[in-house]
Structure 1
Amino acid sequence: MSAPIVGIGWRQPHYAELLERRPALAFIEVHSENFFAEGGAALAVLAEGRAAYPVSLHGVGLSLGSACGLDAWHLEQLARLVERVEPVRVSDHASFARAPLRPGQPVLHGNDLLPVAFTPGSLAIMAANVQRVQDRLRRPLLVENLSAYLGWADDSLAEADFFNQLAGRTGCGLLLDVNNLVVNALNAGQPPVEAACAFIEAIDPAIVGEIHLAGYAELGDIVIDDHGSRVHPPVWQAYAHALRRLGSVPTLIEWDTALPALDVLLDEAARAQRCIERAIDVQPVAEPVPA
């Protein structure tokens, strides 16, 4: 059996139990913004978690795609947290959330992960913001592909090409969210496994630094990336292809809503680890796995 390279999202209801049981995990992931405050119980428990496991910091508020630039306070808080925790990875999303209502007015934060257009202009904006983050943190950043519920009329770059070019310009990596690929395909009326595998084939394997797996909710005519259930079969199928294409990549089980017992997360993590072990001796294949 190979050493585990799978982790779980560590959320408040599981703080004490995880520290007490110390299950075999490669890392734990927390949301960066939950630990920006100076001192207090949150930082104390994070220090305990960091003593037990490597920590991955996953953010939702950098707004890397915002044309108005980054929030300097947010970046500074993140930098201080990185210095405290010394995480194995730092990541955020290929999204925007900051913009003025009108030119010249104060910048507002939308508190959401809004999709960017896949255009040369958006690429230049994101590259500049990613570079600023990396310069401040003095380390590479992983940027996650988004679950998006709309597209832009002026999209001119394939999404995978956008990330390949972003990594080439800045030296950042990709946090490959396989669940998001499947959700986007389902909402676009595309075969989910084939579409996800096509994205995986188009990505430069060298830029993928972490993989996320999660559950989604099917709500009539829309699929929501709610991280509130076990990983669905199409996501497992696309993940198996990702492992064959990319090799053994650190993998996270994300679960943020309707949190189950810790054992359920550990069971999902064990399944991901088994997928990795099965893929170790399998040669990469070019053809997508069938749905």
Structure 2
Amino acid sequence: MTSPPLPHASSASDRHLTLPVRAGLGLKTQHIPQILSEQPDIGFFEVHAENYMVAGGPFHHYLTQIRQRYALSIHGVGLSIGAEQAIDEDHLNHLAELLNRYQPHSFSEHLAWSSHGENFYNDLLPVPYDQATLARVCEHIDRIQERLQRRMLLENPSTYVEFAHSSMSETDFIRSVVERTGCGLLLDVNNVYVSCVNHNWEPQQYIDNLPLEAVGEIHLAGFVEDQDSAGSRLLIDAHGAPVDNAVWALYRDVLNRTGPLPTLIERDNDIPPLAVLLAEVQQAEALLAQHGQWLERA
């Protein structure tokens, strides 16, 4: 992929952008005409990197217009940071070209793996939390940050199984990765709630044990509820429903600890009209404003 950068992308100031402390929305193609015509007051948009790893076409035509009007976050789903093999250098090069083209305010990826050898899986799979995995994940993040010449944010996972041979907790693992690599944290509050329900963890304690000082962005999304084979409650991180009240409550708890932070509303399935999603964006904006006022009073 060889593409000209946006007209403003080479300025020194753009290379050190951070997301505005507002609520944003995952960009969906069916909403783009309405967004461009109405230009809603929204903090930023986020796209999945792999959807734009082509040289041209309508996706780039419209994203260029979005980027000229709004802050942008790019979220990767294909680097397979937790995989046993080295980072795919071709994929990393395509990613570097994409980030150079759009100069996003933030780049993030998942603590997960999705490839093994020549096989690729349409899922974000969990890793064991042990010293060998820690060394491998840190090596991969070091390589990514070196190639991209920027700090990435690592997203905490939603998980449904635990590894018997894990030797540390998920939060201790994430803290160690952040400390060793200097990467930031993308705190997905829905993932926290999903994993805590599935594994009988305590959500507030999980949040307290994270390196909250490293959080650069928050994600909010919806889940679906099922039952496991024992009849216990099982939550699936499906991104196809509104943000649940329990996740909103946990988000308020997070803001109490961190203060306001850039917050994304994610919706990847059963996409509703734009107005429905903008209502959730406004709900997050109201909470951010409340916590901003509290900080000013303090």
TM-score by length of 2: 0.88
Q: Which residue identity lines up with residue 230 of structure 1 in the other structure?
A: P
- The correspondence for 2:282, drawn from 238, 245, 270, is 270
Deviation at 1:109, TM superposition (A): 1.6
Partner of 2:66: 49
Contact 1:244–1:282 (CA under 8 A) maintained in structure 2 = no
Deviation at 1:205, TM superposition (A): 2.1
Deviation at 1:72, TM superposition (A): 1.2
- The correspondence for 2:40, drawn from 11, 20, 23, is 23
Query: For the residues of structure 2 that align with 1:4 and 1:183, how far apart are their CA atoms?
Result: 25
Residues 211-242 of structure 1, C-alpha deviations (whole Å, 9 max, x = no match): 00001011244321111111101101110010
Partner of 2:175: 164
Q: Partner of 1:280: helix, strand, or coil?
A: helix
Q: Partner of 1:69: helix, strand, or coil?
A: coil
Partner of 1:286: none
Contact 1:141–1:172 (CA under 8 A) maintained in structure 2 = yes
Partner of 2:13: none
Partner of 2:145: 134
The answer to whether residue 242 in structure 2 is matched with residue 230 in structure 1 is yes
The answer to whether residue 29 in structure 2 is matched with residue 12 in structure 1 is yes
- The correspondence for 1:40, drawn from 57, 64, 80, is 57
**5+ long unaligned stretches in structure 1:** 101-106, 284-291
- The correspondence for 2:157, drawn from 128, 140, 146, is 146
Which segment drifts farther, 196-205 or 244-253? Answer: 196-205
Deviation at 1:128, TM superposition (A): 0.5
Which segment drifts farther, 80-89 or 67-76? Answer: 67-76
**5+ long unaligned stretches in structure 2:** 1-19, 229-233
Query: For the residues of structure 2 that align with 1:37 and 1:122, how far apart are their CA atoms?
Result: 32
Contact 2:79–2:91 (CA under 8 A) maintained in structure 1 = yes
- How is 1:37-186 mapped onto 2 (pairs within 5 angstroms)? 37-100=54-117, 107-186=118-197
Partner of 1:288: none
TM-score by length of 1: 0.90
Residues 246-290 of structure 1, C-alpha deviations (whole Å, 9 max, x = no match): 11110000000000010111100110111112223447xxxxxxx
Q: Partner of 2:162: helix, strand, or coil?
A: coil
Partner of 2:4: none
Partner of 2:219: 212
Query: For the residues of structure 2 that align with 1:172 and 1:4, how far apart are their CA atoms?
Result: 19
Deviation at 1:25, TM superposition (A): 1.1
Deviation at 1:113, TM superposition (A): 0.4
Q: Which residue identity lines up with residue 24 of structure 2 in the other structure?
A: G
Residues 69-125 of structure 1, C-alpha deviations (whole Å, 9 max, x = no match): 11111111100000000000001100011223xxxxxx3222320001111111111
- The correspondence for 1:201, drawn from 208, 225, 232, is 208
Contact 1:4–1:273 (CA under 8 A) maintained in structure 2 = no
Partner of 1:287: none
Query: For the residues of structure 2 that align with 1:42 and 1:209, how far apart are their CA atoms?
Result: 26
Query: For the residues of structure 2 that align with 1:205 and 1:36, how far apart are their CA atoms?
Result: 32
For the aligned residue pairs, the C-alpha RMSD in angstroms reads 1.4
Deviation at 1:149, TM superposition (A): 1.3
Contact 1:4–1:24 (CA under 8 A) maintained in structure 2 = no
Contact 1:56–1:90 (CA under 8 A) maintained in structure 2 = yes
Q: Partner of 2:122: helix, strand, or coil?
A: strand
